[in-house]
Structure formats: structure tokens, C-alpha cells
Structure 1
Amino acid sequence: MTTHDIRHVLLDADEVLQHTPVSVDAAAGPHAARISPELRAELWSLEWPALRGEIDFFAESVAIAARHGVDLDPADLFTTMWRSIVVDPDSMALVAALRAAGYGVHLGTNQEHHRARFMREELGFDDGRFDVAVYSCDIGLAKPDPAYFDKAVTMIGAEPGSVLFVDDRQENVDGARAAGLAAERWELADGHAALRTLLMRHGVVVHAG
């Protein structure tokens, strides 16, 4: 399959379609002072099971915080943090342009259930702008596992080589390539002109605007 056979673009969310313009501590606001380094480390230990949908991140966070003597309301803490997320208008304009040009455009993101719900319901990711949305918590697999990408292309209904994946993390790009997808590393800080250049290398051309 040549690079000109790309018919689908699979896009990561964080730092590709959206970003958080402030630090985690700043986004957490008054909650940050209550989270010790030890508590933070234990909360981070939940990341991968939560991303694979194996646990309820909020429920486990409450239990861990209680062991540290902290009365934590994760719905309050994390929703406060998530409300600082900015969906990038230029990325979304490119999504629309790709779809108008006849490409399938899909979301491929590692998220735990609560943040995924926030993205869908509050940020508008379920408003029809993507053809297929592949959330790690829904499929029990997370990037960079090549099995995540195997499942993604099955959901899309395409051959791996017809899908171009874009992500800000090289390990995820490598996982996609191992599964047979075309893949490129790009992040918002690189600028959308650079992204269009990467797309053109794979024969994906859309009009600016």
C-alpha cells in the first residue's frame, strides 16, 4: 500500500485536538494544597488501569485519599481541572476540512471513563465531528499497545495501511506503526502548517480555511 492510499485519519486528543493551558496544580486550584506528593503518586498509580477501563478512577481515588486522611471529592477536583481544557479551533477546522475532502476522521484517545464522559458531553466530542471515536476505557486497551490500534482499525472498518495516525507521543506512534498503520508524531506546539506538511507526505491534501 502506498502513502497515497490513506483514506482515514485517526487523531489523538490531548495536545493534538485540545490542550490544558495551565499546570495541573494551577488547574486544581485550592485542591492542590491538599494533595501530598505521596497521595499524588498513589493517584498516578491508578492511571493505566483507569485508562483501560478496569477500575472506576473516582471510586479508587476516594479510597486512596481516605487512607491519607484526605476527604477528596474527585468529581469536584477533576471537573475543576478539566474545565481549563481548550479545544483547539484550528485542529477542529482541519477535522472538518478532512471530512469535507472525503476522508474518514476518527478520534483515538487514552481516557478514563469520567474524563471521556466530560469530553463527550461538555466539550462536544460526540457532536458528530468524528466518524468513529476510540476511547481506551471503552475497549479495554490503551496506547501504545499495538492491540489498541488493531481494535481501532476494526472499529473503523479499514485496512491498517489506509489509516494515518497522529499523536504527540512517540511511543504511541511506534505502537501504531507496529500494528501496520501509517503514523506521525505532531503536537499543537509544532503548528498546523507542520501538520499539513505531514499529511501531504502521506498524500492527504486539504484546502486551508
Structure 2
Amino acid sequence: MITTHVRHVLFDADGVLQHLPGGWYAAAEPFLGESSETFLHAAWALERPLLTGGEVDFLAALEGLLVEHGASASVAEVYAAVWGTVETVAATVEVVRRTRSAGYGVHLGTNQAPHRRHFMRSTLGYDDLFDVSCYSFDLGVAKPDPTFFHRAADRIGAESGEILLVDDSATNVEAARSAGMSAIHWTFDVGDELAGSGTAALVEHTGHAALIDQLAAHGVRL
């Protein structure tokens, strides 16, 4: 049994709270065909500087990529069908709600560019779900930089040792621990649909029963 004094739980987004049903490559395939994987990796590279406050016009750059790959669909159509079809994982959302009902602070800690942050706030409803949201774009630093976790703790208004991270990336988990947080390496699934989103190949435990067990091991009993 792990002995902690956890008062807050910080949840990652992709691979923990949300997913794209069927996977990113399948969503892009109707527009890009065999170029889907190459196109998406190029698009994610364009997004990277935006995670910490870069000035790239993502949609304009994405439009250029579509032209480069010979796609006939408009950037609005592709963006809506791919980036705009991310959904919450209902069982994880229920764990978040149960955690809050048990008296813990529940918070979001995620690497996101502004366009995805807006979608997550308005469409997925994260402003209502969480007490505090820590988007990398707002913090000016991205995971796995330990500074992300120090700034998240400051925004939450808690000591690092009072915060437990749930993240699908082993690298992020280790970085959080180095910043003084407790951390759980977990994802709702390790299927192909997460292959393009940066999910670590090996995850300690999967499934929501395992998540609840791990929370309990850190003193968070729902």
C-alpha cells in the first residue's frame, strides 16, 4: 500500500479522458488514402510549437499540407472529420465525477494547442467537469518538462505532494514524480486507435476497475 496525502487528482486528456473512435489514421483515410499516416505526422509536427504558445496559424498550415498531399477536400471538412470528432471516454468521466464527490479536487493537465483547447472547453465540457484546467498553451511549457507540473501545482494552489497525476505516458509519469507528485501510469485502452497520439507502448494497467484500484492504493477511495 502506498502512503500519501493526496488531496487533488490531475487527469491527462488523450488516452485517459478522450479518444478518437476508430483512430486518427482511419479518420483521415477517406481524405488522404495511403498518405494518411504521413499527413498526420506532419500535422502533429506543425502543432508542436503551439503547445507552448507558438504563433503558427494551424488551419492555414494544415491547408497547405492538404494541397501538398493532393487532397481535394477543404481544410474545414478534414479538420471537422478528424480533430472535431474526438469524444470523451464516458467511464473515465464518471471516475472524475466520483473523485470530486469523494471530496478531492479534480483537475485537467494536458498538452494542447489553442484550437484543441477551445474544442475541449466548449464541446467536451471540461470547464464544468474540472475545478482547474492546466493546458500547456496557457502554462507556457509542455509535459514532460517538470516545470509543467510545478506550474500546474501553483495554478491548483496545492503542494506538489498533494497531487496525484493520471497519465498514459510513462515519461510524463516519471517527470511528475521528479517534480514531487504521485503519479499513475494508466490508459483506458492500448489499442491501435491510440497509436498516433503519443501513447507509450507499455502501460502498467488498463481498464477502469484497475484505475479505481490504483487510486485507492494512493489513498483516493471512491
Task: State the Cα distance separating 1:75 from its structure 2 match.
Answer: 3.4
Deviates most, 145-154 or 31-40: 31-40
Task: State the Cα distance separating 1:25 from its structure 2 match.
Answer: 2.7
Q: Quote the residue 1:197 is aligned against.
A: 213
Q: Quote the residue 1:166 is aligned against.
A: 166
Deviates most, 3-12 or 52-61: 52-61
Deviates most, 60-69 or 158-167: 60-69
Q: Quote the residue 2:132 is aligned against.
A: 132
Other structure's SS at 1:46 match: helix
| Percent of aligned pairs with the same amino acid | 45
- Structure 1 residue 153 corresponds to structure 2 residue 157: no
| Counterpart AA for 2:148 | Y
Deviates most, 2-11 or 184-193: 2-11
Q: Quote the residue 2:202 is aligned against.
A: none
Q: Quote the residue 1:56 is aligned against.
A: 57
Q: Quote the residue 1:187 is aligned against.
A: 187
**Alignment partners' CA distance in 1, 2:64 and 2:88:** 32
**Alignment partners' CA distance in 2, 1:47 and 1:83:** 15
Deviation sequence 1:73-123 (CA, Å, 0-9, x none): 433312211343231111111111111111000001111111111111112
Q: Quote the residue 1:115 is aligned against.
A: 116
Task: State the Cα distance separating 1:151 from its structure 2 match.
Answer: 0.8
Task: State the Cα distance separating 1:41 from its structure 2 match.
Answer: 4.5
**Alignment partners' CA distance in 1, 2:155 and 2:138:** 12
Task: State the Cα distance separating 1:39 from its structure 2 match.
Answer: 4.8
Other structure's SS at 1:105 match: strand
**Alignment partners' CA distance in 2, 1:159 and 1:72:** 49
Task: State the Cα distance separating 1:59 from its structure 2 match.
Answer: 2.9
Q: Quote the residue 1:106 is aligned against.
A: 107
- Structure 1 residue 177 corresponds to structure 2 residue 182: no
Deviates most, 105-114 or 72-81: 72-81
Other structure's SS at 2:184 match: strand
**Alignment partners' CA distance in 1, 2:213 and 2:59:** 40
Deviates most, 71-80 or 130-139: 71-80
Q: CA contact under 8 A between 2:28 and 2:36: conserved in structure 1?
A: no
**Alignment partners' CA distance in 1, 2:7 and 2:36:** 47
Task: State the Cα distance separating 1:70 from its structure 2 match.
Answer: 5.8
The 3 A distance-change label for structure 1 pair 35 and 103 is same
Q: CA contact under 8 A between 1:166 and 1:185: conserved in structure 2?
A: yes
Q: Which runs of 5+ in 1 are unaligned?
A: none
Deviates most, 57-66 or 143-152: 57-66
Q: Could you tell me the TM-score, scaled by structure 1's length?
A: 0.87
Q: CA contact under 8 A between 1:11 and 1:105: conserved in structure 2?
A: yes
The 3 A distance-change label for structure 1 pair 187 and 30 is same
Q: How many residues are matched?
A: 204
Q: CA contact under 8 A between 1:52 and 1:139: conserved in structure 2?
A: yes
Other structure's SS at 1:16 match: coil
**Alignment partners' CA distance in 1, 2:174 and 2:74:** 37
| Counterpart AA for 2:11 | L
Q: Quote the residue 2:43 is aligned against.
A: 43
Q: CA contact under 8 A between 2:66 and 2:75: conserved in structure 1?
A: no
Q: Which runs of 5+ in 2 are unaligned?
A: 190-205
Q: Could you tell me the TM-score, scaled by structure 2's length?
A: 0.82
